[in-house]
């Protein structure tokens, strides 16, 4: 099989260049910052709405994809916040609204990320919505590589790219 003409399908590793902007045109992310994104197609490594739009594309093809919140980072949930006591934060870190914070959730043995939305006298209001929750996302995406996944990649459920070795 000629890898150059391989189309995006489940079990292929895809590299894309992309620009992500919001409905008002503001650019919030771009592969120009960190280089192309590489992932295993069909493994849920990227948001469902973008993954679905890539099937059948091949190297060199470009597309504009509009993804609604339900197929991106979900709707914004107003109740998804917690007031965290001030003493839960390290004293030497100045707190300000918009700052990303991370907590260890012992119940789920995992870290959860949030954003400080407000600082009150008795605690810090932390918003646990994803920062792109509720947003309709506009991707300008270009496929810059498609290759068959390695057996280990299929087994692990993610691509093994040069910049992304974790085992």
Which residues in this chain contact Zn ion in the complex, by CB under 5 A?
156
Kindly tell me which of 56 and 166 has the beta carbon lying closer to Zn ion: 166
Q: Which residues contact 92 (CB under 8 A, 6 or more apart)?
A: none
Q: Give me the least distance between CB of 160 and Zn ion, in Å please.
A: 6
Alpha-carbon gap, residue 54 to 57, rounded angstroms: 6
Q: Give me the least distance between CB of 14 and Zn ion, in Å please.
A: 16
Q: Give me the least distance between CB of 76 and Zn ion, in Å please.
A: 32
Q: String of b and e for 132-154 (b: at least 16 CB within 10 Å)? A: bbebebbbebbbbbbeebeeebb
Kindly tell me which of 63 and 156 has the beta carbon lying closer to Zn ion: 156
Kindly tell me which of 130 and 156 has the beta carbon lying closer to Zn ion: 156
Q: Give me the least distance between CB of 148 and Zn ion, in Å please.
A: 16
Kindly tell me which of 116 and 149 has the beta carbon lying closer to Zn ion: 149
CA dihedral of residues 14, 64, 50, 15 (deg, nearest 10): 10
């Amino acid at each position: 099989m000629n890898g150059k003409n391989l189309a995006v399908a489940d079990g292929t590793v895809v590299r894309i260049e992309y620009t992500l902007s919001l409905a008002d045109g503001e650019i919030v992310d771009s592969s120009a910052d960190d280089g192309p994104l590489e992932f295993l197609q069909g493994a849920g490594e990227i948001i469902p709405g973008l993954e679905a739009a890539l099937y059948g594309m091949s190297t060199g093809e470009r597309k504009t994809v509009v993804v609604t919140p339900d197929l991106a980072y979900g709707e914004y949930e107003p109740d998804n916040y917690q007031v965290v006591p001030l003493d839960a934060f390290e004293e030497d870190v100045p707190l300000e609204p918009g700052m990303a914070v991370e907590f260890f959730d012992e119940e789920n043995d995992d870290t959860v990320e949030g954003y400080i939305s407000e600082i009150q006298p008795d605690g810090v209001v932390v918003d646990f919505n994803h920062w792109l929750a509720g947003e309709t996302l506009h991707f300008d995406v270009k496929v810059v590589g498609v290759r068959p996944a390695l057996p280990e990649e299929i087994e692990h459920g993610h691509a093994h790219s040069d910049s992304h070795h974790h085992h």
